[in-house]
Amino acid sequence: MDNKQIVANFLKKHKLAVISTVSNNKPESAVLEFAETDKL
């Protein structure tokens, strides 16, 4: 299985992600929902 297929399979199973940043010593996080296509 190539890397593209591994990533596609992972994205099909996991529809949510969390992104976190820190600015001026203040953390923030946001939940992201995403969709994928076969072409990524």
pLDDT of residue 6: 93
The Cα 22–Cα 33 span in angstroms is 21
pLDDT of residue 17: 95
Write down the pTM of the prediction: 0.62
| Close Cβ partners of 31 (under 8 Å, ≥ 6 residues apart) | 16, 17, 18
Q: What is the 3-state secondary structure (H, E, C) of the chain?
A: CCHHHHHHHHHHHCCEEEEEEEECCEEEEEEEECCCCCCC
The Cα 36–Cα 34 span in angstroms is 7
Q: Where in the chain are the domains?
A: 3-32
pLDDT of residue 25: 98
Q: What is the mean pLDDT of each run of 10 residues along the chain (40 residues)?
A: 90 94 98 86
pLDDT of residue 26: 98
